[in-house]
Amino acid sequence: MSTHRGFVRHGAHGWSDYFTFNTDHKVIGVQYLVSTLLFFLYAGLLALVIRFELLDPAPTLNANAYNAAFTLHGSVMIFLFVIPVMAGFANYLIPLMIGADDMAFPRLNALSFWLLMLGGLIIVSGNFLGPANTGWTAYAPLSLQAPDGQTLWAIGVIIIGTSSTMGAINFLVTIGTLRAPGLTLLRLPLFCWGMISTSLMVVLATPVLTTAMALLVLERVAEMTFFAAARGGDPLSWQNLFWFYSHPAVYIMILPAMGLISEILPVFSRKPIFGYRAIAASSMAIAVLGFLVWAHHMFTTGMDPSVQAAFMVTSMIIAVPTGVKIFNWIGTMWGGVLDLRTPMLFAIGFIGMFVIGGLSGITLGSVPVDTHVHDSYYVVGHLHYVLFGGSVLAIFGAFYFWFPKITGKMYDERLGKLHFWLTIVGFTLTFFPMHWLGLQGMPRRVVAYAEEFQRTNQLISLGAFILALGVLPFLYNMVVSWMRGAQASSNPWSALTLEWQTSSPPPIGNFDTPPIVTHGPYDYGRPLLPREAAAD
Amino acid sequence: MSETHQPQGIHRSAGPGAALFTLLVLGAGILVGRYVNLMPPAASLEAAMIDRLFSIMLGIAFAIFVLVEGVLLYAVLRFRRRKGHGGEGLPIHGSNRLELAWTFIPALLVFWLSAVSAQVIFRLDAMPQDPLRVRVVARQFSWQFEYPEHGVTSPDLNVPVGQPVVLELISMDVIHSFWVPAFRLKEDALPMRETRLNFTASAVGEYPVVCAELCGVGHAQMRARVVVMNPDAFYIWLTEDNG
């Protein structure tokens, strides 16, 4: 491919290539990772605005501004950080992990990235029109009343959803057709299995979201009727369509994270992953079950009790494949030689925190308990245990783990550990007390609250400030280590997956000689001594 | 536990340590389930049912929490790399027995929890005999309570203690959600579609009503009170004071 065709480029020859319509999967991967990280910082600052407001039970900000802040916080974190940052890792890693020279559709790949930027720009520019202020869930008919920014928000989500769908098709075709000789499906790194299950969900669920958004836009600008009850529409249709995508989206955000964890743990345990097939199969099970639980977000809408019970059972069953993964990860560590470097700390932190989110998730699945805590701070606590304690910790771990591969430099281990401990302490102070607040009766999405909750809210805000502080050593580490870090070898962690079998960073085209795979991705560990083998 | 530099096999019998840990897990679960109360004071018969269910789940969740975090921490401490030890772990790829166990035991547990929860769902839904009917009208940003059989309208929900009440909820604009934390009950108020909520108040007193569904700029201020009264006082209020 020619490297100079105006704005269309292939490969990074200098920094300016990162600002072009570049068709190299590694460039696109870095474009995704860096830009989604900027969105993370933006949405994180919005979270600080929220926590600043809630220091005091009386409103400080204008309520509309506050509503806009949490709307944008949620939307940007979900649509512009957690979901696409996974596409960033997948873009960078999948071709390397399967021994390919690029993605199956490089130009489609570049298009997905630039559509994401366009969608993000449209959502953020809604701020200047009167921002969307109805939460990331945009329930109708409230979202029909919202200012014009809501229309831009919905258009932005449609474009981002399209980008996401294109990416998913690309990942599926790439893994399906471009694997190196010898790389059978059961030798695929588990991150690839995570992306297969995620991409299937994206392909099947995202069109429903984009349809819902298109209907919302049409109802807002062309006065067609879909959701407004007063004109004969049905507001619950919005909820059904929205959650038909957005509950699977929870798994779209966590399955890749689980894949990242499954890469990190065996390397730093110096042991094969425990129960490879079970972990891969549980990802697929979650991808299927994930489509059967959406109505658990609607238990309080006057649903028939038999329907409630059915969705309760499916929601609770998801805990089983999730539990399988957690036990298998601990099984991976058991009997290993654990190297507690920063990526490993984040992986262990993920297991420890995600378990709490999983357990509170089971209580939320139970209809009678949900009747009390639905739309309360209990849910806010739960979802952050899953999304931050789960996805974001895995993302941090992955940034450190593949930093040497992507940049060719080593990060600073001490700063990494500082980041980890500030994060765990800040995270726990922020999100654990929220469960109590919810049980006690504090609803979510409120600019003002009962005075009895002030102490707890101040503690939570303190936690959030610590959490934010922890991001500083991370950023400093990433930027300064990239500029001045020690040179990284091609395989600093002695890892077995293919991305480590080429230089750091890999050349354009990835491998000087096309790899042939002769073993599994996690064949770590010394051979068993005869005595142990007999005992096994 | 032997502290050698070579990690031991996964099937090695753990002995008294494991037995003690099992006791700790079960004990922690039972103690938390029985004695830890995270809920505000309960003021309805339904709250008692929901609190019992939540306590069971909290106890089980805490036991699992102690189990997982305990094993995780123990693994970190026991298997962490010692200085000068550059070796590899054991080449164990899995164990069908263990994996079956940690698939089927949690599966049984969630089915059981579903069954227990389902019982409560159907009991909460059962239509009571001779209820007091109250129409709840939600609008941006206020609650209004109407007693259609008595022609009374009130900004607070007044109810007699011990008598079943059926609320018929409706919204005049966007979706709201009627939540009384002291009752542990919540039901959305939808535009053009009536929803229903049954309860029987069990303790005289005043309790907050909050809107739980984001409904716009005044959402946080959309509050009211439930006043649970002695039946005599309630019927005097209903017939004489009428709001």
How high is the pLDDT of residue A530?
54
Chain B partners within 8 Å of A229 (Cβ): 190-193
With respect to residue A301, please indicate whether it lies within any of the assigned structural domains: yes
What is the identity of the amino acid at A394?
Answer: A
With respect to residue A12, please indicate whether it lies within any of the assigned structural domains: no
The count of domains in chain A is 1
Give backbone dihedrals phi and psi of B132, rounded to 5 degrees, phi first.
-85, 125
As a whole number of angstroms, the distance between CA A474 and CA A396 comes to 9
How high is the pLDDT of residue B1?
36
Residue A428 CB neighbour total at 10 angstroms: 18
State which H helix or E strand residue B60 sits in: helix B45-79
Domain of A124 in residue numbering reads as 22-225+233-524
As a whole number of angstroms, the distance between CA A449 and CA A288 comes to 39
How high is the pLDDT of residue B17?
87
Please check whether residue A136 is in contact with residue A75, taking contact to mean a CB–CB distance below 8 angstroms. yes
How high is the pLDDT of residue B3?
39
As a whole number of angstroms, the distance between CA A293 and CA A296 comes to 6
Please check whether residue A33 is in contact with residue A89, taking contact to mean a CB–CB distance below 8 angstroms. yes
ipTM of the complex: 0.93
Please check whether residue A385 is in contact with residue A460, taking contact to mean a CB–CB distance below 8 angstroms. no
With respect to residue A102, please indicate whether it lies within any of the assigned structural domains: yes
pLDDT digits (tens, 9 = 90+) for B7-58: 444 455 668 888 999 999 999 999 999 999 999 999 999 999 999 999 999 9
As a whole number of angstroms, the distance between CA A114 and CA A28 comes to 10
3 state DSSP class of A82? helix
In chain A, what is the straight-line distance between the N-terminal and C-terminal CA atoms, in Å?
53
What is the identity of the amino acid at B67?
Answer: L
Verify whether the Cβ–Cβ distance A371 to B184 is below 8 Å: yes
pTM of the model: 0.95
With respect to residue A151, please indicate whether it lies within any of the assigned structural domains: yes
Share of chain B above pLDDT 70, in %: 92
> CB-CB: which of A270, A441, A528 is closest to B181?
A441
How high is the pLDDT of residue B4?
41
Whether CATH 2.60.40.420 fits B132-241? yes
Give backbone dihedrals phi and psi of B166, rounded to 5 degrees, phi first.
-115, 120
With respect to residue A269, please indicate whether it lies within any of the assigned structural domains: yes
A130 and B CB contact within 8 Å? no
Question: What is the distance in angstroms between the Cα of B230 and the nearest Cα belonging to chain A?
Answer: 25
How high is the pLDDT of residue B191?
97
Verify whether the Cβ–Cβ distance A532 to B9 is below 8 Å: yes
Radius of gyration (C-alpha) of chain A in whole angstroms: 23
Residue A150 CB neighbour total at 10 angstroms: 25
Residues of chain B where predicted confidence (pLDDT) is lower than 50 = 1-10, 243
Q: What angle do CA A400, A401, A406 make, to 5 degrees?
A: 85
- In B72-163, DSSP assigns E strands to 132-139, 142-147, 152-154, 157-160
A303 and B CB contact within 8 Å? no
How high is the pLDDT of residue B195?
97
As a whole number of angstroms, the distance between CA B234 and CA B158 comes to 7
Substitution target from A142, A354, A447, A456 for chain B, most B beta carbons within 10 A: A142
With respect to residue A411, please indicate whether it lies within any of the assigned structural domains: yes
Verify whether the Cβ–Cβ distance A235 to B49 is below 8 Å: no
Question: What is the distance in angstroms between the Cα of B74 and the nearest Cα belonging to chain A?
Answer: 9
Please check whether residue A106 is in contact with residue A123, taking contact to mean a CB–CB distance below 8 angstroms. no
Strands B176-180 and B152-154: unpaired
As a whole number of angstroms, the distance between CA B1 and CA B17 comes to 8
Strand partners, B227: B158, B206
Instruction: From residue A511, give the alpha-carbon distance in Å to each of A13, A100, A101, A402, A504.
Output: 17, 8, 7, 17, 11
How high is the pLDDT of residue B6?
44
As a whole number of angstroms, the distance between CA B191 and CA B169 comes to 9
Question: What is the distance in angstroms between the Cα of B66 and the nearest Cα belonging to chain A?
Answer: 10
Residues of chain A where predicted confidence (pLDDT) is lower than 70 = 1-6, 528-536
Tell me the CATH number at A454: 1.20.210.10
Chain B partners within 8 Å of A313 (Cβ): 111, 114
As a whole number of angstroms, the distance between CA B222 and CA B230 comes to 27
- Locate the domains of chain B by residue range: 16-80+97-125, 132-241
Q: Where are the alpha helices (DSSP H) in A270-318?
A: 276-289, 305-317
Nearest CA in chain B to A449: B220
Instruction: Kindly state the tokens that stand for B208.
Output: 């907050």
How high is the pLDDT of residue A5?
56
**In a 10 Å sphere around its CB, with 0-12 CB exposed, 13-18 middle and 19+ buried, how is residue B184 labelled?**
buried
Buried b (16+ CB within 10 A) or exposed e, A314-324: bbbbbbbbbbb
Instruction: Kindly state the tokens that stand for A238.
Output: 């919005």
Residue of A287, A235, A252 lying closest to A79 (CA atoms): A252
Please check whether residue B238 is in contact with residue B158, taking contact to mean a CB–CB distance below 8 angstroms. yes
With respect to residue A9, please indicate whether it lies within any of the assigned structural domains: no
